[in-house]
Amino acid sequence: MTRDCGGNDNGFAGLGVSLFFIGRLKERGIRTPEEIQRRVIPRLFRGERVLFSSPTGTGKTFAYLIPVFQKMMEPAAVSGNGCNTDRAGQAPQAKLSAEALILAPTYELCSQIKQEAEFLLSGAASFKVSLLIGSGALSRQIETLKKDRPRVLVGNPGRVLQLVKMGKLRLGNLRFLVLDEADRLSADELYGETRELVSLIRSGYTAACSATLPDRCRERLLSLMGEKSGIFVEETRTNEILRDRIEHWAFFCEERDKIGLLRSFLAALRPRKALVFTSRGAQVGNIVSKLQYHGISALGLYGDMDKRARKQAMDDFRRGRSAVLVASDLAARGLDIPDVSHIISLDTGADPDAYIHRAGRTARAGKRGIMATFGDEAEMRALLRLEKKLGIIVYPKELYAGKVRAPSPMDHN
């Protein structure tokens, strides 16, 4: 059993987490590990390769960041008694060299991972984190690599691969490789770049994670990570959060009436933070403009949006300056936005995984949320199939006199 090191065996100390990182987590009010962290952190400390899935908002990022960073600090962090003592919780010192690469599919997710990494490493002066993303200025990223000599790299496969091919980035000393939102990184549109980049890396440690692991994704990732027999696969039960912490609503609505219903829905419920999904990214701007025309504070997020505009929209939504964010599935993948109370889907999405990823933007960190789907007859049939497959209950709803209620046949006679 892992030694307590002055803490409770049921807490982070019992998982082998050092006092330094326990102190960082306490600053966020985090004292008890999530279930996925209990299962994954000890294995990563042992150097095992781990492929894991867990619902959004359940602590996946810290599940891999803490073991990676602590192992990078290990020469200074481990004392002779087997406990991870780091000078009474002070940041350990270690030699300078790029050692960790974390890959993710989108600008927003890469930025979030970088922020979380810098939070955990605050106080560890020798640990610089660089962001390498395709939407950023290439020349500035090259200059940052030269100036900061980062030990941690966070980026998307395309830009990292570009820098490697240009000879501006060498990964020969890399010890740790993590694929976040791994189902997207292994999807057809990104798999070629991901596979080519991973083939150039000789890492003694690999982890991959996502909220969902479809069969094809799992097989591709196992292939990327090496010999399958040496990889631990952990999949938690997403359905429990979908069923127990999220209330699912369905509103029958023809396509032409969806934006009008959306306006009425937002006016009736006045959610503090509502995230609206559409599978058609080209429609985001149109939806936003119509909401704004009617006095609703709404912003948009779509795949090829300018980086500064994307950042501004995200900041305004996070800080509550805008109550509504309209997004395409690609743009919103992996977003960690606190206190989103309502998800509104203007279609049913492509498959169960799409529904899971959308719903996972609410009910985070133990809170509850509402997932409302607007759809016509065909989409309601598709939603019924999702209901059975995911083991959830979807309640038919309607707006009547400015309130959400179950449909009443008497009102339609």
Predicted confidence band at 183 (pLDDT cuts at 50, 70, 90)? Answer: very high
For residue 326, count CB atoms less than 10 angstroms from its CB and return exposed for 0-12, middle for 13-18, buried for 19 or more. Answer: buried
Closest Cα partner for 360 from 85, 121, 59, 111? 59
Question: What is the rounded distance in angstroms from the CA atom of residue 19 to the CA atom of residue 85?
Answer: 6
Residue 91 has pLDDT above 90, yes or no: no
Q: Provide CATH 3.40.50.300 ranges for the chain.
A: 13-236, 239-412
What pLDDT shows up at residue 80?
36
Question: What is the rounded distance in angstroms from the CA atom of residue 192 to the CA atom of residue 215?
Answer: 18
Fold of the domain built from segment(s) 239-412: Rossmann fold (3.40.50)
Please state the pTM of the whole predicted model.
0.75
Question: What is the rounded distance in angstroms from the CA atom of residue 354 to the CA atom of residue 349?
Answer: 6
Residue 253 has pLDDT above 90, yes or no: yes
Closest Cα partner for 157 from 101, 103, 99? 103
Lowest mean pLDDT among 51-55, 192-196, 371-375: 51-55
Buried b (16+ CB within 10 A) or exposed e, 240-269: ebbeebbbbbbbbbeeeebbebbbbbbeeb
- In 10 A of CB 272, how many CB atoms? 11
Among the four given CATH numbers 3.30.700.30, 2.40.30.260, 3.40.50.720, 3.40.50.300, the one describing domain 13-236? 3.40.50.300
SS3 263: helix
Predicted confidence band at 82 (pLDDT cuts at 50, 70, 90)? Answer: very low
Q: Percent of the chain, pLDDT > 90?
A: 60
> Which of 80-89, 117-126, 370-379 ranks highest by mean pLDDT?
370-379
- In 10 A of CB 88, how many CB atoms? 8
Mean pLDDT, residues 303-308: 77
Q: Is the dihedral of CA 353, 359, 274, 103 positive or negative?
A: negative
| pLDDT tens by residue, 39-66 | 999 999 999 999 999 877 788 999 999 9
> Which 8-state DSSP code applies to residue 412?
G
Residue 83 has pLDDT above 50, yes or no: no
Top-confidence residue, 332 or 111: 111
Closest Cα partner for 368 from 238, 245, 275? 245
Question: What is the rounded distance in angstroms from the CA atom of residue 62 to the CA atom of residue 65?
Answer: 5
